[in-house]
Each structure stands twice: as structure tokens, then as C-alpha cells.
Chains A and B, each alone.
Chain A
Amino acid sequence: MAHDHDHPHNKPLSDTELRVKALESILLEKELIDAEAIDLVVETYETKIGPRNGARVVAKAWTDADYKSRLLENATDAIAELGFSGVQGEDMLVVENTDDVHNIVVCTLCSCYPWPTLGLPPVWYKAAPYRAKVVKDPRGVLDEFGVALPEDTEIRVWDSNAELRYLVLPKRPDGTDDMSEEQLADIVTRDSMIGTGLVSAP
């Protein structure tokens, strides 16, 4: 490695980066992946798929009773009505928060998450502390997120897996009767659809 010249040096690629390059070049050579498709996947997940999709589902359910019953009956189809489907969204179940029940979602095994409606999961969702603690002490986790619920509210924890992914339908906050579907979609947060947050009126 020792050489004595004075041109500027590239930062060497890390071992991890080299492993990805190795894998990519082998798969490209075998024509098992397509370079353009790879770029498209990255672009899609970076710019087009995210929690705004889920927020539109929630806002529609809040403003359209028929849609809401379809959503609770067959979430996958009702979500696809709005154009959201694909990997990790094949089998969806929507669980509704009420005055009596609060739902919260986790994947204890890895990080199963409804990509088409929420995008890719936040770091804390993939981290061991959340995955382990939410099952044992959901109230404690909610407290860390600044969410306090009445003592008699039942908390249900749903463990996502490869077959079934959950989306929480949060409670529509009071004082939002005059808001349009579009305005409502703007106040729905990602965390409220995981169950670690509540939606509040603006």
C-alpha cells in the first residue's frame, strides 16, 4: 500500500460496500437482477412510498363509512383501491383504535412492516429494545413516546410476520368535523398508524 506520490486519494470502499458490489456484479452477470429495476426500486422507496399513503387510507376511512367497513373487512383490497399494493402489502389487516381499545404493532422476529402504506420502517422499529419491550410493557413504551392512555383502555399488541402485516386505524381527533379528507390526511402521523402515537387536531 505504501506509495509516495502526491495525487489526491479516493476514500477506499469499506468491506461492506465491496461485499455489495461483489453480490451485485455476480447477479448482474447471471442476469438475475436488472440494473434499471434496481435503480427504480431505490427511487420508488426513497420518493414515492411512505406514510403519506397510509395517511390517505386513514383519512378516507374517517370520512367514508362504506370505505371504512370495506377496510376493516378486507384491508388488502380496500388499500389497493387507492393504488397501494406490492411487496409486504399482500396481506393486510387494519385494526381500529376506539375509546376502549388501543392497538400497537411490532415485528418481534425481524421487521415485517406494511411497506406500501407506511414505507420502510424507522430505525427504532427495527431495534431490539422496541421489539422486546413492547410485548412485555406496551404502556411503558407508549410512555416513552409521550402517549398516555386511560387506565381502563385495553392495549392490544399485534406481532407482524411474513404472512400478515397490520396497520392501525387511529381515532379521529375531536374538533376535526369541518376538515376535508385531504386536510385530515395531513395530520395523520406515521407513528399513529403503528400505534406509538395518537393523532391530534391541528
Chain B
Amino acid sequence: MTDKPPIRGSDLKKTPHLPHDEGGPVFSAPWEAKAFAITVDLHKQGLFEWSEWCDTLSEEIKSAQAKGDPDLGDTYYQHWLSALEKLVTVKRVTSMDTLAAAKEDWRAADHHRGFGEAPVLVKGAGGAEHQH
């Protein structure tokens, strides 16, 4: 046996080269929580099987690793978001072009908002063509 004291779930400081959290909140930014929740809700609504989601996410992680991401867990929700975008386009809910155009609209809304105010989306404000 060992004379090392057993560590508690929240005490992972003894594992310096394994990335760790403090056993606390799992989302490091609100967008991560949002992307997570959208995925769970879409699955509950029946847009895809959970196994389809796992396959898509696994593929995304593999391809990120192939592109040089050390994949230490901190980029996990980046992969999650890319997988979600991919799956909704595979399911023909929307297209990458439409997503890109909406992103530019949001960028314009963000740029024009007053200090402390929430951005207001104006379709087409980003300059890209919307495809419907």
C-alpha cells in the first residue's frame, strides 16, 4: 500500500500534467453552456440520435487533433460547437452559408450596440446574402 494521503475529488493539484478543474462549474464561458444546452434540446426534440451526436463530436475531435490541437480539454467546447454546426447542416436545418451570414449580422449588431446594451439583430446588416 501507499503512505501517500488519498486525494479528494477536488484536489487534483497533484496531477500537474493532466489538465484539471476544481470539480466546480463545468462551463468556462456562457457560450459553452449555450452550445451545450442547444445540443441537448435539439436531441430532446428528436432532431438526432445521441449516437449520431457522439459520432460527429468524435470526428471533430479527431480532425482537430490531426490539425495539431493538443486537445487538453480547454478546446473541448470549440470542438463541440463545430460538431453542432456540422450536424445541423447535415440535418439540413440550415447551411454553413446561412450560419456565416447570420454571424456577420450579429457582428454588425454587436458593433452598433450602445455601451452596456444588448446587441439587436438586423438581418442583412452584416452584408452577406442570406439564403433561405
Smallest CB separation, B79 vs chain A (Å): 8
A145 to B16 Cα, complex, angstroms: 10
How many chain B residues sit at the interface, stated as a range, is 35 or more
Looking at the complex, which one of B6, B15, B34 makes contact with A38 (CB distance below 8 Å)? B34
Q: What's the interface size class on A, roughly?
A: 35 or more
Chain B contacts for A46, CB-based, 8 A: 25-27, 33
Question: CB-nearest residue of chain B relative to A141?
Answer: B18
Q: Is the CB of B26 within 8 A of A45?
A: yes
Within 8 A of B (CB), among A30-75: 30, 32-34, 37-39, 41-42, 45-46, 51
Contact between B6 and A198, CB atoms less than 8 A apart:
yes
Using known A-B contacts A19-B103, A22-B106, A45-B36, determine if residue A123 contacts B20 with beta carbons closer than 8 Å. yes
Residue of B nearest to A150 (CB): B1
Tell me the bound Cα distance from A57 to B98 in angstroms. 46
In the assembly, what is the distance between CA of A145 and CA of B34, in Å?
Answer: 31
Contacting A at CB under 8 A, from B81-96, are 81, 84-85, 88, 93-94
Q: What total of A-B pairs shows CB separation below 8 Å?
A: 205
User: Measured between alpha carbons, how far is A118 from B118 in the docked complex, in Å?
Assistant: 35
Binding site for A on B (CB under 8 A): 1-2, 4-10, 12, 14-15, 17-21, 23, 25-27, 29, 31, 33-38, 40-45, 47, 50-51, 53-55, 57-58, 61, 65, 70-74, 76, 78, 81, 84-85, 88, 93-94, 98-100, 102-103, 105-107, 110-111, 113, 115-116, 119, 121
9 contacts between A and B (CB under 8 A): A20-B31, A20-B81, A24-B34, A27-B94, A46-B25, A123-B73, A123-B74, A191-B7, A191-B12
Residues of A within 8 A of B (CB): 7-10, 12-13, 15-27, 30, 32-34, 37-39, 41-42, 45-46, 51, 87-88, 90, 109-112, 119-130, 141, 144-148, 150, 161-163, 189-192, 197-198, 200
